[in-house]
Structure 1
Amino acid sequence: MARTYPSRWQQIGLELPLEPQFSREDFLISNSNADALRMIEAWPHWPESVLLLIGERGSGKSHLAAIWAAQARAEIFSGASLASADVAALAEMPALVIDAVDEIGAAEAPLFHLLNLARQGRRSLLLTAQRRPDLWSLKTPDLLSRLRLAPVVELGAPDDALLQSVLGKLFRDRQLLVDPSVIDFIALHIDRSLEVARAFVELIDRVALARGSAVTRSLARELLIDATDERD
């Protein structure tokens, strides 16, 4: 299910969405992310100074990156902003996260420079991406070679247990008491994405508030059907 929901629900704006909580305490562990978390927490004893974290959109990459940034006191930059960044200033930072590094566009030279610094032992770099470097359409062979040397850890799609746990926490964060059977129903029918889970909880909370009703299975079913009909 896409993040965009039926247009008639988009008119409901009773509250601002809650900001995602990216602390270690808020990270829920399952088989789909346990290996990645262990590697993140193994720093500074990584096998190399660069780590590549791979996962589809909504798999939890940004949360893990934020956990590592807090641990390593690293600055976080987006891949899309690297082309306009002050590379000299970045080169002075001991630890960096480049989030969505596969969106660097023409900024291959700055990334190559940062990788070289990391290889020389002067920097720790965490790079997040949806796919492995061979699929980024890079034009710089040496950059691709450097990236291929980096250890890779992959996040799987959220499994049932994780999706249910995340949905439960998202509802609790909004002080909503929701029957576990409703949470199970939502988890079964939305895409396996933490981003979609957040969006759907925000949506159903707004609609329930607008109607003065509880979050129920029938309301969840109505919104899911509406979303499916509008996509079709």
Structure 2
Amino acid sequence: MTATPRQLVLDWPHAPSFAREDFLEAAGNSQALKTILAWPDWPTRTLMLIGPSGAGKSHLATIWARQANARAVDAASLTRDALGELAEAKALLIEDADRSGADEAALFHLVNLARERGVDALITARAPPDAWGLRTADLLSRLRLAPIVELGAPDFELTQAVLVKLFNDRQLAVDPALIGYVALRIERSLDAARALVAALDREALARGGPVTRAMAARLLRDEDQQAP
């Protein structure tokens, strides 16, 4: 049997948009969105944004950082040498504060400096501070003072809406039934949705045809087989 010819596919970068208009509001994130957009009328100078991977923390944090003109720093790469410059910022976004490798002393001093200088700060993490396994008791006590805003994992409706937007962004026309089929089977994560749509786009381009349910089923089956 003759194999279906495949076209050469150039893997152009397709970065996700973190613009406000691209944040899809749903039951699991509406309260967090409302709270973040209420800045600068927060109850305290520091808020903590908590949610599982792929829930939209980076998108929501980026919306706030642009609004507040905040300096962003990844907690895992934070060093004490950078504290002076960071503390001069008018607002701070500290991302993934629960990631391993973070310098607890540097994070403690940065949180203290922000508090002393009246700097607004948004801290993102996957879980509340008590679940991070922190060794620095003073850091834990400081972080416990920050009110927590939670993002839930995307539900079925949000997953569908995200898939529609991702396909539209790539100018891919797909059957609505395929959207529902994928949304029922995919991991409830915005990152997983982006990865699958990108894979379907590449496969459709290589085959020179539309995205099909059979194509999606094969990719989802391959993902299941590769899972540990």
Normalising TM by the smaller chain, what interval? over 0.9
Partner residue of 2:51?
55
Partner residue of 1:113?
109
Asked if the contact 2:24/2:158 (under 8 Å) is kept, the reply is yes
**Per the alignment, in what secondary structure is the counterpart of residue 200 of structure 1?**
helix
Give yes or no for the alignment of 1:69 onto 2:54: no
Q: Structure 1: which 4+ aligned runs deviate by more than 3 Å? A: none
The structure-2 alpha-carbon separation of the partners of 1:13 and 1:77, relative to structure 1 and needing over 3 Å to count, comes to farther
Partner residue of 1:216?
212
Partner residue of 1:23?
19
Equivalent residue for 2:225, pick from 211, 215, 229: 229
What are the Cα deviations for residues 16-55 of structure 1, in whole angstroms up to 9, with x where unaligned? Answer: 2310100100000000100110110011111111110001
Mapped to 1, the partners of 2:63 and 2:81 lie a distance apart of 23
- Normalised by the size of structure 1, how large is the TM-score? 0.91
Q: 1:13: how far off?
A: 5.1
Mapped to 1, the partners of 2:33 and 2:102 lie a distance apart of 31
Mapped to 2, the partners of 1:227 and 1:43 lie a distance apart of 40
Equivalent residue for 1:194, pick from 190, 193, 216: 190
The structure-2 alpha-carbon separation of the partners of 1:230 and 1:117, relative to structure 1 and needing over 3 Å to count, comes to closer
Mapped to 2, the partners of 1:192 and 1:46 lie a distance apart of 30
Mapped to 1, the partners of 2:78 and 2:224 lie a distance apart of 37
- Normalised by the size of structure 2, how large is the TM-score? 0.92
Bigger mean CA deviation after superposition, 220-229 or 182-191: 220-229
Partner residue of 1:91?
87
Instruction: Report percent identity of matched pairs.
Output: 55
**Per the alignment, in what secondary structure is the counterpart of residue 205 of structure 1?**
helix
Mapped to 2, the partners of 1:187 and 1:106 lie a distance apart of 35
The structure-2 alpha-carbon separation of the partners of 1:85 and 1:222, relative to structure 1 and needing over 3 Å to count, comes to farther
The structure-2 alpha-carbon separation of the partners of 1:56 and 1:133, relative to structure 1 and needing over 3 Å to count, comes to same
**Per the alignment, in what secondary structure is the counterpart of residue 78 of structure 2?**
helix
Mapped to 1, the partners of 2:174 and 2:157 lie a distance apart of 17
Over the aligned positions, Cα root-mean-square deviation in angstroms equals 1.5
The structure-2 alpha-carbon separation of the partners of 1:69 and 1:226, relative to structure 1 and needing over 3 Å to count, comes to same
Partner residue of 1:33?
29
Give yes or no for the alignment of 1:45 onto 2:68: no
The structure-2 alpha-carbon separation of the partners of 1:106 and 1:66, relative to structure 1 and needing over 3 Å to count, comes to closer
Q: 1:177: how far off?
A: 0.9
Mapped to 2, the partners of 1:195 and 1:159 lie a distance apart of 14
Q: How many equivalent residue pairs?
A: 221
The structure-2 alpha-carbon separation of the partners of 1:164 and 1:219, relative to structure 1 and needing over 3 Å to count, comes to same
Asked if the contact 1:17/1:202 (under 8 Å) is kept, the reply is no
Q: 1:193: how far off?
A: 0.2
Task: Answer 1 or 2: higher relative contact order, Cα 8 Å, separation at least 6.
Answer: 1
Which ranges of structure 2 fall in alignment gaps of 5 or more residues? Answer: 1-7
Mapped to 2, the partners of 1:186 and 1:174 lie a distance apart of 17
Q: 1:194: how far off?
A: 0.3
Q: 1:105: how far off?
A: 2.9
Q: 1:84: how far off?
A: 6.2
Q: 1:121: how far off?
A: 5.2
AA partner of residue 65 (structure 1): A
